[in-house]
Structure 1
Amino acid sequence: MPTAIQTFVRTVDAINRRIGRFAMYLIFVMGAILLYSTLSRVLFGVPVNWVMEMSQFMLSAYYLLGGAYSMQLDAHVRMDLFYGMMKPKTRAITDSFTIVFVIFYLVVLFWGGISSTEYSITYSQKNYTAWAPVLWPIKVIMTLGIFLMLLQTIAQFFKDVAEARGKPIA
């Protein structure tokens, strides 16, 4: 593989590794938010109206920012009827073909994410609840997560092509 592609793959892997490791800790933030809500309600009798939405936002950030890292670690779920019996080179060829569909899907999703985020910022979109938070921060995070997943998918495509050629990118 050309040096530029190898550099791209290594850079994307490094970025997604850092962001993915950061995202792992968001589960503790979500747990702390839910614990605060429970303690507030049980000990002080004061319900907190922002907890459910905030924990949903944290969960969304957790899996969208961590998705690319999960792909990098090959931790995604696969339909493993025949895949597990394939040789590594055959898997790489299969993955090189099927990942094109994933890239197409992520491009469409990213395009929709940009449109939705732009709308949310332009019109100060708020959620229709008692707390009524603005939605642009979570939409920015969601769009960023989709973009990182797209970059990781492209990097994975290059890795699969290199593996199929018998010259893996280390």
Structure 2
Amino acid sequence: MQIQTFIDQLHSRLSQLISWFTLAMVLLTLLIVILRYGFNMGWIAMQESVMYLHAAVFMLGAAYTLKVDQHVRVDVFYRNFSTKTKALTNLMGTLLLLMPVNIFILVISWQYVMNSWELLEGSPEAGGLPLVFVLKSLILLFSISLCLQGLAEIIRNALLFKSSGEPS
């Protein structure tokens, strides 16, 4: 199995798990609203759990979004490019923008997350979740997963560029 296929499959499976987070987030939000306005009850931990799920959906779903080519792109020119030129553009964008930015995020946030783990940082709110260190770990998982998917994109686009017979 090629490495890009393995990375693609990993992110596809991760996205299936994350899709359940979205359902849980919607149901929890509904429950919060019903309890709050119907019964005048509320729990900070329940509200924070929606925030944690929301963060997980976006932070862990970013690599899958890149995999399926649904990320934000200003394609004024891109849509008219040949397959070979698109592959080269994607390759250069990944090498010069995606990878350096995510490696920077990984390096700069490492100590921040490790400090949180050392403290087993919890919510500053009374009754909040004692898992802020887990929430902050999503920053590292975000950059690692995007770097992995970036590697898959580099391989895929390099092969596409090499094999494309079209003129650029």
**TM score, norm. by length of structure 1:** 0.87
- 8 A contact 2:49–2:129 mirrored in 1: no
- 8 A contact 1:110–1:143 mirrored in 2: yes
One of 102, 122, 128 as aligned partner of 1:126? 122
In the alignment, structure 1 segments of 5+ residues that lack a partner are 1-5
Letter in 2 for 1:44: F
Letter in 1 for 2:116: S
Question: Which residue in the other structure is 1:117 paired with?
Answer: 113
Question: Which residue in the other structure is 2:149 paired with?
Answer: 152
Are 2:21 and 1:26 aligned? yes
State the shift of 1:67 in Å.
Answer: 1.1
State the shift of 1:66 in Å.
Answer: 1.2
In structure 2, C-alpha distance between the alignment counterparts of 1:132 and 1:43, rounded to whole Å: 22
In structure 2, C-alpha distance between the alignment counterparts of 1:99 and 1:53, rounded to whole Å: 34
Question: Which residue in the other structure is 2:77 paired with?
Answer: 82
Question: Which residue in the other structure is 1:136 paired with?
Answer: 133
Are 2:160 and 1:163 aligned? yes
In structure 2, C-alpha distance between the alignment counterparts of 1:49 and 1:121, rounded to whole Å: 22
Are 2:8 and 1:13 aligned? yes
In structure 1, C-alpha distance between the alignment counterparts of 2:61 and 2:108, rounded to whole Å: 20
State the shift of 1:133 in Å.
Answer: 2.8
Are 2:50 and 1:42 aligned? no
In structure 1, C-alpha distance between the alignment counterparts of 2:69 and 2:80, rounded to whole Å: 17
Letter in 1 for 2:138: I
How large is the RMSD of aligned CA atoms in angstroms?
1.7
Letter in 2 for 1:97: M
Counterpart of 2:126 in 1: which secondary structure?
coil
State the shift of 1:77 in Å.
Answer: 1.4
State the shift of 1:148 in Å.
Answer: 1.1
Query: Could you list the runs of 4 or more consecutive aligned residues of structure 1 that deviate by over 4 angstroms after TM superposition?
Result: none
State the shift of 1:146 in Å.
Answer: 2.3
Count of matched residue positions in the alignment of Structure 1 and Structure 2 = 162
In structure 1, C-alpha distance between the alignment counterparts of 2:22 and 2:41, rounded to whole Å: 24
Question: Which residue in the other structure is 1:3 paired with?
Answer: none
- 8 A contact 1:20–1:67 mirrored in 2: no
In the alignment, structure 2 segments of 5+ residues that lack a partner are none
Letter in 2 for 1:24: S
Q: Choose 118-127 or 9-18, whichever is displaced more.
A: 118-127
Identity within the alignment, %: 19
In structure 2, C-alpha distance between the alignment counterparts of 1:55 and 1:142, rounded to whole Å: 17
In structure 1, C-alpha distance between the alignment counterparts of 2:128 and 2:43, rounded to whole Å: 13
